[in-house]
Structure 1
């Protein structure tokens, strides 16, 4: 195949690692290294915060990181946030609390951790987590609000939210946990990557993206070639140009090896 993308956007959880893990297989590490050896750029594009992204960026060559579903941009070379878009989380929390009273919430404090309303499970949140009141959360502009519905499944959450309207934010439901993420309106992995692509002067036809979740839909649509992981849900497969192997099969490495051989 003669085509070789110049910008490669990679989701983390369920694409480079198993969900919630920081362990990247040797095959995936090697494939990502070959991307940069061939002169292309690697962009980590994730729902994780900067704190959750740094352990991944430390393991593979990373040109840029789009964190918090596009709301936070991080430059690994300078180890600094270069862009941060926020919203006021109070109205969204109120709407969700009225619908699902037994949920817990956290707002991201970039580079620090989270303020939480209720107890999350161990390992759910990155950085320092401090319990706070609703008023404190509502008074904290944030790039990312997360909600977990404890003791429920992703399918139950999706069904409960089937008619939900959340004005002023973009939101998605995870397919592995009963977990909702909200970010500022008109912000997504896809919108952030398009802005970055234009800044870098890379042609739209020279882009590749690999992902597995609902928050990857806009990114897969954005890319000239959007590849969904094999284990991704049907709604993600439906928007992808191709369906690759699963994360259990080091699917990201297999896809990248087609364009960046050893």
Structure 2
């Protein structure tokens, strides 16, 4: 990106929690909402790309005023149409062998299997603020009897660092996992599914050059997306491995670091590279 050649990204992929939404306050600032709206008004393809379920993502779309384009949920396992709020594609995996492996490695962990658009099957009740939508307690047989797009393991009473240590080098059958830096959550999705892989499919469909893509994120599940984008930003509070994956590091989410970056191109002034 030359400093003398005006440049704007044509596809902007944005994580939610820790990037647009401050986990400490669980809110989207007015600055973030306005910055996203400016990008949309400029003709940019803004793609919400999140580990959240479909039910957890829909309210974010409402707050941002996004009513067109693609939305990636469950780390890319689920694609939605922002206009219709209907699913475009869903990838799933068999949760049974994954549950068997994780329950032995994380003794006492509780599990949640995403039921697309309706809620979650859970082995025990999660705190209300942790899962989006209705929870249905079930036994393990029912939890694991059908393929799912996303499985959550929550190891209460432990730290993300402890989870990472236990799972270091571990492979899960037919699936991949990421670890949340804000809670002791392991998010499991189908093998080969990442935000970056889902965005590459979308980019090819839209006919946008890779150098015209931008991504912002802060978590373990954002690493492939940040590496994929032509230009990428890690939020200031991100862990070192996430920061290393990005082109640059912005200010923390609490300081609206994303707004500062987006305003380079979508502030209404002269774009810069």
TM-score by length of 2: 0.93
In the alignment, which of 13, 19, 25 is matched to residue 23 of structure 2?
19
Name the residue aligned to 1:91. Answer: 97
Structure 2 contact 125–135 (Cα < 8 Å) conserved: no
Matched, 1:141 2:136: no
The 5 Å alignment of 1:152-231 reads 152-231=158-237
Displacement of 1:163 in angstroms is 3.3
In the alignment, which of 74, 87, 91 is matched to residue 68 of structure 1?
74
CA distance in structure 2 between the aligned counterparts of 1:170 and 1:21, rounded to whole angstroms: 29
In the alignment, which of 5, 8, 13 is matched to residue 12 of structure 2?
8
- Report Cα offsets for 1:175-218 as digits up to 9, x if no partner: 11111000001001000000011111111111000000000001
Displacement of 1:98 in angstroms is 1.1
For the aligned residues, what is the CA RMSD? Answer: 1.2
Displacement of 1:21 in angstroms is 5.9
CA distance in structure 2 between the aligned counterparts of 1:106 and 1:83, rounded to whole angstroms: 21
SS at match of 2:27: coil
Name the residue aligned to 1:246. Answer: 252
Name the residue aligned to 2:107. Answer: 101
Displacement of 1:73 in angstroms is 0.3
- Once the two structures are overlaid, the 10-residue window that deviates more, 18-27 or 28-37, is 18-27
CA distance in structure 2 between the aligned counterparts of 1:164 and 1:48, rounded to whole angstroms: 23
In the alignment, which of 124, 128, 132 is matched to residue 122 of structure 1?
128
Name the CA shift for 1:80/1:21 in 2 (closer, same or farther; >3 Å).
farther
SS at match of 1:236: helix
Name the residue aligned to 1:31. Answer: 35
CA distance in structure 1 between the aligned counterparts of 2:267 and 2:167, rounded to whole angstroms: 43
SS at match of 2:102: helix
CA distance in structure 2 between the aligned counterparts of 1:8 and 1:76, rounded to whole angstroms: 15
CA distance in structure 2 between the aligned counterparts of 1:127 and 1:121, rounded to whole angstroms: 12
Displacement of 1:167 in angstroms is 2.8
Unaligned runs of 5+ in 1: none
Unaligned runs of 5+ in 2: 269-273
Displacement of 1:20 in angstroms is 7.8
Name the residue aligned to 1:58. Answer: 62
SS at match of 1:31: helix
How many residues are aligned here?
Answer: 262
Name the residue aligned to 1:132. Answer: 138
Name the residue aligned to 1:233. Answer: 239
Runs of 4+ in 1 over 3 A off after TM superposition: none
CA distance in structure 1 between the aligned counterparts of 2:249 and 2:100, rounded to whole angstroms: 38
